[in-house]
Amino acid sequence: MKNNKIREIILGKPLDPMKSETRHSMALVAFLAWVGLGADGLSSSAYGPEETFRALGGHTHLGLYMAIATAATVFIIALAYNQVIELFPTGGGGYRVASKLVGPYLGLISGCALILDYVLTIAISIASGVDALASFLPLGFQPYKLWAEVFFIGLLIVMNLRGLKEAIQILLPIFLGFVVTHLVLIVYGIFAHASHLPELVPNTLAETSELASHIGWVGVAGMLLLAYSQGGGTYTGLEAVSNNVNLLAEPRVRTGKVTMLYMALSLAFTAGGIILLYLLWDAQPVPGETLNASTFKTIIASMGLGGEVVNQMLLVVVLAFEAGLLFVAANTGFLGGPSVLSNMAADSWVPHKFRYLSTRLVTQNGILVMGFAALAILWWTGGSVTLLVVLYSISVFLTFAISLFGLVLYWSRNRKRGTQWKRRWLLSAIGFVICASILVVLLIEKFADGGWATAAIIAVMAAFCIYVRRHYRETKEAIHSVDEVFASQPFGSNTEPVEPNPDEQTAVFIVGTSRGGGLHALLWVQRMFPNHFKNFLFVNARTVDSHAYGGEGALEQMRTEAAETLEFFVDFCHSHRMAASSYLGFGTDAVEEVTRLCEEISSEFPHAIFFTSKLIFASDNWFTRLLHNQAALAAQRRLHLEGLQMVILPMKV
């Protein structure tokens, strides 16, 4: 009881998943979704534009092309992913697109890349944010950076375990602070040098022609492509909305598109605007400072708001919001990563427990895994942002390329009038070419600098997933064979219901979705205790997981299927003139719900003994225990503590 109180204080009161208002109160409107999911993309403006501009070397005039290309690319990818929101309104994004439109194994690769992407989102955002904070502190703080990263990741884990909306609302002021400060600096920075704008285009064209006369147009194109690819991190995060449509308020598709519009406008303006500022204000690298910091320092000084101290304070505020946004962006990993894991668990690529919801209706296991994986990556890389950016960009563009290729295939197969398939096919194809080109250049240029590690990590993850799915498939086939054996059990001739008598001996069966498993337990009890039990009750406590909770009408479908299964057992008993009844419950914790229902039954039927089945594997080890919940043992322990008798029947598979 005391533990429950402490848990409630830290994580908040349990929520009822069966109440419609619960889902409504948790769903994200477009503005909050922009904050929660858009921060990842917007935060990349802290390092993406700089990578692009630095790659140009001394030919900074080419920055104008990069500013235009960056803004245009953001909108191309965003519009392409709007199609994903339309086609997959229950979420899953890149993973669902690849699985359904290209094939399950490319879907697996896309899913593994997405999970790595979200782990790296957390790692790189926290590492960059701590680096930014460390720049304001004495050098003696440097050895403690990893501990600071552990603290911030732990803080985000707790916030997300409390609920998605709560975490976003806490981080909202930081997000808005970044948007306002950067909006002011970009607008002022452009207008302050507005006199240079008319001559910018002709000068750029003239300098480009002169450069081409020395290195050729192919050389210029190669330079632009390399700089464009180096800044690929700018576009990361645009897929977050399509991955998490299930978190959005109704109507989900419209909310998703509005959120995507907010993201595209804010990122295109910020990233393209910052590159333009570099160009207009002649940004030069300064040791120990980012290009953003040195450029913003120059702009703030030109505003004439006060002396050097005031200017320095304003710069600190701007950079603090930039660092703060990186922490907000890290939260996107805790929103998107568990969602992808949940979708992959629904397809049996990863343990099914990643679908389970906590009492706060969040995928607790996914949140914990993302947090600890991010810590492991930070420890392995030593928090090196340079290496993390390489890992990050390759995983993101691998997912982008596979997803957009899936859309190209989809519109090639669905050429129907009125669907504007030509325009959508062209948009998807352009997006695919852009993303595939960036991916190829990154792999070639950065393979030795960490690209190999991305490929190795994704390969190991995929191999593990294939092994997991094979185990689940073999288990499912074994259970199906048990169902087939008991499917032939004949019903009796009686058609009248037989009501249980509370004063008689009662056998209570805790059953699941397997009818064969339930009949196996019923017949075993009758064989072992002939004519002892007069009442036969059936209990089904269904787990409301993320798949059931997020899908449209999935809760009602789950309720209908569970009721039909229980009705089958009751009808079977009635047909043999056996008194029977059923009890159905729903909750995020099956053991809690089973315990509640059994206590309720025990008060009504004092002579009840409880029975359930448990899968027994020929080789029971840590792996099988990881893949299958131990609900039967946990329920038995809870009931024994309550003074209720429970027997577990082995079912070998």
pLDDT at 22: 46
pLDDT of 653 strictly over 70: no
495 burial class (0-12, 13-18, 19+ CB within 10 angstroms)? exposed
> Given pLDDT bands bounded at 50, 70 and 90, which one contains residue 362?
low
Question: Rounded to an integer, what distance in angstroms lies between the CA atom of residue 597 and that of residue 585?
Answer: 7
CA distances from 483 to 293, 598, 653 (A): 66, 26, 12
Q: In this prediction, what percent of the chain has a pLDDT beyond 90?
A: 11
Among the residue ranges 369-378, 409-418, 470-479, 550-559, the one predicted with the least confidence is 550-559
Average of per-residue pLDDT across 494-506: 90
Average of per-residue pLDDT across 4-12: 51
Average of per-residue pLDDT across 170-186: 86
Residues 509-556 have pLDDT tens digits of 988 877 877 888 888 888 888 888 999 999 988 776 555 555 555 667
Bridge partners of 647, per DSSP, are: 611
pLDDT of 115 strictly over 60: yes
559 burial class (0-12, 13-18, 19+ CB within 10 angstroms)? middle
pLDDT of 7 strictly over 60: no
Instruction: Note whether 142 and 127 are within 8 A (CB).
Output: no
Residues 294-303 have pLDDT tens digits of 888 888 888 8
pLDDT at 97: 84
Q: Of the ranges 144-148, 237-241, 374-378, 627-631, which is most confident?
A: 374-378
The answer, yes or no, to whether the previous bond of 143 is cis (omega within 30 of 0) is no
Nearest Cα to 399, choosing from 153, 631, 106, 187?
106
pLDDT at 462: 94
Give residue 600's identity as a one-letter amino acid code: E
Question: CATH for 490-652?
Answer: 3.40.50.620
Residues counted in the chain: 653
pLDDT of 287 strictly over 80: no
Q: Answer left, alpha or beta for residue 287, where phi above 0 means left and psi between -120 and 50 means alpha.
A: beta
pLDDT at 420: 79
Residues 204-223 have pLDDT tens digits of 888 888 888 888 888 888 88
Strands (E), 504-641: 506-510, 535-543, 579-587, 608-616
pLDDT of 67 strictly over 90: no
Question: CATH for 43-467?
Answer: 1.20.1740.10
> Given pLDDT bands bounded at 50, 70 and 90, which one contains residue 143?
confident
| DSSP label at residue 98 | I
CATH topology identical between 43-467 and 490-652:
no
Nearest Cα to 631, choosing from 364, 356, 338, 366?
356
> Given pLDDT bands bounded at 50, 70 and 90, which one contains residue 25?
very low
Average of per-residue pLDDT across 610-617: 81
Burial 498-522 (b: 16+ CB within 10 A, else e): bebeeeeebbbbbbbebbbbbbbbb
* Rg over CA atoms, the chain: 29
> Given pLDDT bands bounded at 50, 70 and 90, which one contains residue 461?
very high
Say which residue, 544 or 81, is predicted with more confidence: 81
CA distances from 559 to 417, 541, 549 (A): 39, 11, 12
pLDDT at 23: 47
Coil, strand, or helix at residue 535?
strand
Say which residue, 366 or 13, is predicted with more confidence: 366
Question: Rounded to an integer, what distance in angstroms lies between the CA atom of residue 541 and that of residue 547?
Answer: 16
> Given pLDDT bands bounded at 50, 70 and 90, which one contains residue 139?
low
Other Cβ atoms closer than 10 A to 474: 12
Nearest Cα to 244, choosing from 18, 30, 12?
30
Average of per-residue pLDDT across 436-440: 86
pLDDT at 418: 67
Instruction: Note whether 57 and 258 are within 8 A (CB).
Output: no
Bridge partners of 508, per DSSP, are: 537, 610
> Given pLDDT bands bounded at 50, 70 and 90, which one contains residue 28?
low
**For all residues of the chain together, what is the average pLDDT?**
80
Among the residue ranges 203-212, 226-235, 486-495, the one predicted with the least confidence is 226-235
Q: Of the ranges 91-100, 327-336, 603-612, which is most confident?
A: 603-612
Q: Where are the domains of the chain?
A: 43-467, 490-652
Helices (H) and strands (E) in the chain, counts: 24, 5
Question: Rounded to an integer, what distance in angstroms lies between the CA atom of residue 243 and that of residue 73?
Answer: 20
Q: Which two tokens stand for residue 330?
A: 């890290």
Residue whose tokens read 């053991």: 591
pLDDT of 2 strictly over 50: no
HEC sequence for 392-406: HHHHHHHHHHHHHHH
Q: Of the ranges 21-25, 111-115, 520-524, which is most confident?
A: 111-115
Other Cβ atoms closer than 10 A to 632: 21
Bridge partners of 587, per DSSP, are: 543
Residue whose tokens read 């690209």: 451
> Given pLDDT bands bounded at 50, 70 and 90, which one contains residue 504?
very high
Q: Which two tokens stand for residue 331?
A: 């939260």
Instruction: Note whether 222 and 40 are within 8 A (CB).
Output: no
